[in-house]
Each structure stands twice: as C-alpha cells, then as structure tokens.
Amino acid sequence: MNKSITQDAQNDKQISKTIRRFFVRFHVSFALKSANACKRKGFSVVEIFQYLFLLIFSNRSMYMNLLTGSNTPAFAKDTVYCFMKMPQINWSRFTTILSSRIIKEAIAPLDSEDRANVLIIDDSIFERNRSKKAELLTKVYDHAKHAYKFGFRMLTLGWSDGSTFLSVNSVLLSSENKRNRINEASAMDKRTVGYKRRQLSMQKGTSVMPELLKHAKSAAIPAKYVLFDSWFSSPSSIHAVKGIGYDVIAMVKKTPKMFFVTTGKRCP
C-alpha cells in the first residue's frame, strides 16, 4: 500500500514538472491574460489552471485529490469553482491563442514549405442524458443511433498538417428552437463573454462556423483550406468561408434545389 502511494506521488511530481514546462514554453499565462482570465486578489489564475491540468493528466477528480491529500492545493475548492464560473473569460480565445502558439513553435518548423495546412469543421453529439439542470440542455438527434438524446452538439474547429491534428476552438450548440430546449440560460450581464457565448450556442451551426474561422484567422493560424462535410456545404456557407480568406474542400449536397458549375458545366 505504501509502495503504491509512493509511486502515485512520484507520478504526480513528474506530471507537475511536465505541465510547468509546457506552461512556460507556450506562454500559457499570456494566453490566459489575453482571454480576460485574471483576478484582482488571491491566488493567481495560473496556479488554479495548473492544478486543473494536473487533475486531468493524473486521472483524478478534485474530490479524490482532496480526499487522498496528494498534491493538495493551498486554495479551497470554492476558489476553483469560482474560477471556472467566471463569465468574463473568453475560453474560445484562450484555446485559439494557445493552439496558434503550439502550431508555430512546435509543429510548423517540422513541416516542409509546400505542405498544405487545413482547418477542419465537424460536429458531434455531446451527451448529457443524466443532466436535468444544465443550462440550455436540449434534445439532440443522434444520426448514428437514430435516436434523440439529451445534450448538445459540439461544433469543433481543428487544424491539421496531414499528420498532426490539433483542436483550435469549439462551441456547444443548443437548439435555436425554444421548444426543443429543456432549460434556458441563466440571467447574466449582457456585456460579458458568458452571455454572448450563450447567445451563440442558440444559433445554427452554419451561422456559428464563420465565427470560429474568424477567430482562427485573427490568431494567424496557418491554413489554406477549410474541410467539412455536406452538412455545411451550402452556397451561403461556402461564400462565407471564401470571404474570410480560405478555399473550401467539401462534399456538396445532392439536392435538386441547388446547382453548381464546374469546368463550365452545371451539375445538379
């Protein structure tokens, strides 16, 4: 038993060192500050964020961490909860800035100049079948299982050079139809990022997609093409992507209501 505890402590120590090196190399503190993650007093957001990172990579919940007393933080659990609920933090901006720095400093130097980098748009089901009070919880149709589930659609923007995939940012989508929503959003200051994020989640995925691409463009993430499936390949979406400055690679929808012209020929 003592040997197991000692081994766990050594693993946590090694993980903690690796996390600190990662934070320093990719300037995570700068990304947090750029995303409005800051506090006027108390423990710094970097300390709290490092602790959350440690929990994820040590495969341990905060409850179990406090129970075992392993790497117990100096701050209380309420400090962590308050940090995670801060409505002014722009988490989408944080992940975009961080992924941009990782791409430029760790991945791009290893690629050849003629390699074509791409951005990939895709959505998947984020199930919350046991949830009852989650904000904007909605009924989502699972096309793979042909059944409705409680949860959200997770719209994700990723980057790839053909051998590496890196998530850039994402949005949990509720339903634009109020009748399909189980719960509504909590009352919040309309000036905060949290309020705007909730409003964005109640829009269609095709309307949210250009916003994610604009964030990637402003962060100067190197990419020439945007890839997505037929769900997003409407003429309006393709024009929106072209307007941002990317070319499109997609499977077009097969429908009698839309026509495409290629090499001078009209295709149904």
Domain boundary among 84, 110, 129: 84
The whole-number pLDDT of residue 26 equals 97
The verdict on 225 and 117 lying in the same domain is: yes
202: domain range? Answer: 102-229
- List, for residues 132-161, the tens digit of each pLDDT value: 899 999 999 888 888 999 999 999 999 999
The verdict on 138 and 220 lying in the same domain is: yes
Query: Is 185 contained in some domain?
Result: yes
Query: Is 27 contained in some domain?
Result: yes
Query: Is 72 contained in some domain?
Result: yes
Cα three-residue angle 183-171-234, rounded to 5 degrees: 105
- List, for residues 176-234, the tens digit of each pLDDT value: 999 999 999 999 999 999 999 999 999 999 999 999 999 999 999 999 999 999 889 88
Q: Kindly state the average pLDDT of the residues 2-21.
A: 76
pLDDT at 5 over 60: no
pLDDT at 4 over 70: no
The verdict on 219 and 133 lying in the same domain is: yes
Measuring CA to CA, how many Å separate 240 from each of 120, 218, 245, 253? Answer: 15, 16, 9, 17
The verdict on 114 and 174 lying in the same domain is: yes
The whole-number pLDDT of residue 185 equals 94
Query: Is 265 contained in some domain?
Result: no
- How many Å apart are CA 153 and CA 175, to the nearest integer? 9
The verdict on 47 and 11 lying in the same domain is: yes
Comparing C-alpha atoms, which of 40, 20, 15, 44 is closest to residue 32? Answer: 44
The verdict on 74 and 180 lying in the same domain is: no
pLDDT at 20 over 80: yes
Query: Is 234 contained in some domain?
Result: no
- List, for residues 56-113, the tens digit of each pLDDT value: 888 888 888 777 776 778 888 899 999 999 999 999 999 999 999 999 999 999 988 8
The verdict on 72 and 132 lying in the same domain is: no
The verdict on 48 and 130 lying in the same domain is: no
The whole-number pLDDT of residue 153 equals 95
The verdict on 64 and 110 lying in the same domain is: no
Token code pair at residue 167: 């998530």
The verdict on 112 and 76 lying in the same domain is: no
Per the model's pLDDT, the better-predicted residue between 39 and 123 turns out to be 123
The verdict on 110 and 169 lying in the same domain is: yes
Query: Is 163 contained in some domain?
Result: yes
The whole-number pLDDT of residue 62 equals 86
Please, which contacts does 213-217 make with residues 24 or more away whose CB atoms are closer than 8 Å?
213/119, 213/121, 213/157, 213/241, 213/244, 213/246, 214/244, 215/92, 215/93, 215/96, 215/168, 215/169, 216/96, 216/100, 216/119, 216/157, 216/159, 216/168, 216/169, 217/244, 217/245, 217/246
Query: Is 237 contained in some domain?
Result: no
Per the model's pLDDT, the better-predicted residue between 168 and 129 turns out to be 168
pLDDT at 255 over 70: yes
State in Å, rounded, how far the first CA of the chain is from the last one. 69
pLDDT at 46 over 50: yes
The verdict on 209 and 138 lying in the same domain is: yes
What is the count of structural domains for the chain? Answer: 2
Q: Kindly state the average pLDDT of the residues 242-260.
A: 87
The whole-number pLDDT of residue 1 equals 46
Query: Is 44 contained in some domain?
Result: yes
**pTM to 2 decimals?**
0.88
